[in-house]
Amino acid sequence: MNYPQRTLNCSQPRVVHLGQDHTLNAWVHRLRDHGNITFLTLRDRYGLMQAVIDDQSPQEVRLLTGELKMEYCVAVTGPIRRRPEGMVNPQMPTGEVELHVQQLVILSRCQNLPFVIDEENRSTEATRLQYRYLDLRSSGMQRRLILRDRVVRSVRSFLADEGFLEIETPTLIKSTPEGARDFLVPSRLQPGSFYALPQSPQIYKQLLMVGGLDRYYQIARCYRDEDPRGDRQPEFTQIDLEMSFVRRDDVLDLTERMMQRVFRDGLNVELELPFPRLSYHEAIDRYGTDKPDIRFGLPLLDLTATINQTAFQAFRDVVAAGGCVKALVLKKAGEQVTRKRIAEWEEVARKAGAKGLAWMRVQNHQFEGGVGKFFQESAAAMIRDLGLEEGDVLLMGADSWARVCRSMGMVRLEAAKSLELIEAGKFRFLWVVDFPLFEWNEESGQWEPAHHMFSMPKAEYIDTLEQNPGDVKGELYDLVCNGLELASGSIRIHDPDLQQRVFNIVGYPLERARERFGFLLDAFRYGPPPHGGIAPGLDRLVMIMSQQETIREVIAFPKNTQMASPMDGSPAPVDEAQLRELGIRFL
Ligand code: ASP
């Protein structure tokens, strides 16, 4: 097709172009027909520009204009002219000028649209995903994908400056466990054998360190066959990196500086370094979660010691049995804390495993409402010690430490949301360190790695690992932003014997470990360097930066919450012949 090619994009025309003939190639974003004059708002990736067809335009152009509809793809040519007085649009960067159309070519037509491209709540997500190629034309999707590109470029240039090499690792691999199920790919040449898609490049990046490559990164696609819950995708992207001869703080420092550069390049936001650090224990104790949202205060207070001075027998019994009492102080929230809200928060606490939620408010220097009557005697001392003021509301729970922290942590988040204590547009990072290395899985009755099985125990636990795995802390770290886990990493084991001891604890005795990880254990017998790394989630990072609620908003072609694609219909059955070739038959 021969057609006039653009000489400017839709964001470029300005008064310097006045009088010059130009061509735009773009989509019809808006169309206003006033009889003898038609205004087209044309759109491309770069911006919006007005084109005008009037009685000075050639007859054939006016005729063709009658055929135009939204989202037709067109080429328009004509002089750039100043908009008449009163028609200037200061909202549009090109708002001082317009193109007076002398030539119009319809490059392609558009049938009835399933939704209007740039409308705020344009459609259901299902429809948006089915017509993703149209959804991608929206300014929101384009802005986010442009940000994503900027983030990736910023990461690449930062890591290159720091001496990292970008190296690809295979995606048809021997399965690497990261706590999820593998996607399997059948081998045609070896019927009955399978490749796995990597849950992450974990083992390969460690082998790159054994290979002496020292500093590696990769914008890596990871595949995990997980149940659809939360904001998950079967494939997602990590900024995967690994470094040799580092200690924990070297990895944290590098990651912080990378985040600082990314936020500067991507959003012009200056992050303050270093990020605060909390141990896993402190995070749970103070915020009831290992990914605390610290955009607001509201720490959990410990009232375990205080409770014996009160007459609240229910809580005293819990403490006597070894439990804890945790409280939240909602400052001056008296009026806002309605019974309805308390009932909602109590529901949240119960869902998190609590038996209930106690509350009372400070009024006339006394505790009133809820369980206030049990605290009359101790009120003066408590009000003084906790620095309480009139109108403050106390929410309290009592249970085992783990359970009360968890449930009160959920109440903390819910209260902050409903009392609107979370300021939008803020980014609050922190590190959570010193996680337990192992977790007990009730269902399988086995120890499991809390992160993955290649992480180094902290030095003081190495001799006695097997005695009480539950107590062992690892050289593990998570980067958290606004209450979301943004990255996990660790210093790794590089001693084959220690690695085997950890394998033993998590259910990979020698035989089984050799079968699955023999190549890693072998590699560790050839002078492996001490090493460690981390892997920030790229989708999450861009989601947080663009203040979206789901990573689907920052992925060009995501799967839906059922892990399917309404656009191409995947997953889908395959031909009998394909299966036969692979030697696969369904029972
Ligand atoms: N492979 C780990 C993960 O995907 C990250 C790391 O330890 O570097 O979570």
570 Cβ neighbours under 8 A, 6+ residues apart? 564
Whether residue 528 is predicted with pLDDT greater than 80 in this model: the reply is yes
Q: Determine which residue's CA is closest to atom 9 belonging to ligand 1.
A: 488
Distance of alpha carbon 368 from alpha carbon 364, whole angstroms: 9
Residue 535 CB–ligand 1 contact under 6 Å: yes
345 — phi, psi (to 5°)? Answer: -65, -35
Tens of pLDDT, residues 249-307 = 999 999 999 999 999 999 999 999 999 999 999 999 999 999 999 999 999 999 999 99
Give 569's pLDDT tier (boundaries 50, 70, 90). Answer: very high
- What is the rounded average pLDDT for all residues in the chain? 95
Please choose from 202, 207, 222, 235 the residue to mutate so as to test ligand 1's pocket, defined by most ligand atoms within 8 A of CB: 202
In whole angstroms, what is the distance from residue 514 CA to residue 57 CA?
Answer: 78
pLDDT tens for 87-117 read 999 999 999 999 999 999 999 999 999 999 9
**Averaged pLDDT for residues 38-50:** 97
Tens-digit pLDDT profile for residues 5-16: 999 999 999 999
Once rounded to an integer, what is the mean pLDDT over residues 390-407? 96
Res. 120 pLDDT band, cuts 50 70 90:
confident
| Cα–ligand 1 centroid distance for 28 (angstroms) | 45
Report how far residue 103's alpha carbon sits from residue 64's, in angstroms, rounded to the nearest whole number. Answer: 10
Give mean pLDDT, residues 432-449. Answer: 94
Check residue 7 and give its pLDDT: 98
Bridge partner residues of 52 (DSSP): 39, 100
Reading the block at residue 124, the tokens are 């259901």
Phi then psi for residue 191, to 5 deg, are -55, 140
Residue nearest to atom 4 of ligand 1 (CA): 200
Q: Are 310 and 386 in contact (CB under 8 A)?
A: no
Q: Is the pLDDT of residue 433 over 80?
A: yes
> Residue 504's pLDDT is what?
96
> Apex CA 539: angle with CA 221 and CA 490, to 5°?
70
- DSSP structure class, residue 174: S
Q: What's the CA-to-centroid distance between 533 and ligand 1, angstroms?
A: 8
Q: Does residue 180 have a pLDDT over 90?
A: no
- Centroid of ligand 1 to alpha carbon of 507 (angstroms): 20
Residue 39 has pLDDT above 80, yes or no: yes
Among residues 467, 465, 464, 357, the alpha carbon closest in space to that of 408 is found at 357
200 lines ligand 1 (CB under 6 A): yes
Q: What is the mean pLDDT of residues 301-314?
A: 93
Q: Decide which of 2.40.50.140, 3.40.50.150, 3.10.20.30, 3.60.20.10 is the CATH code for 15-108.
A: 2.40.50.140
Taking the centre of ligand 1 as the mean of its atom positions, its distance from the CA of residue 255, in whole angstroms, is 14
- The helix (H) or strand (E) run that includes residue 140 is helix 139-161
CATH classification code of 296-422: 3.30.1360.30
Per DSSP, helices labelled H in 434-575 are: 496-505, 510-523, 538-545
pLDDT of the residue at 335: 83
Pocket of ligand 1 contains residue 77 by CB under 6 Å = no
Domain ranges across the chain:
15-108, 142-278+430-554, 296-422
Question: Does residue 329 have a pLDDT over 90?
Answer: yes
**Would you say residue 173 has pLDDT above 90?**
yes
Q: Is 490 in the pocket of ligand 1 (CB under 6 A)?
A: yes
Q: Can you tell me the distance from the alpha carbon of 63 to that of 467, in angstroms, rounded to the nearest whole number?
A: 86
Task: Return the CATH number of the domain spanning residue range 142-278+430-554.
Answer: 3.30.930.10
- Report whether pLDDT(143) > 90: yes
What is the band of 574 on the pLDDT scale with cuts at 50, 70, 90?
very high
| pLDDT of res. 122 | 77
Residue 234 has pLDDT above 80, yes or no: yes
Only one residue has tokens 């990914």, namely: 291
The minimum-distance atom of ligand 1 relative to the CA of 489 is 7
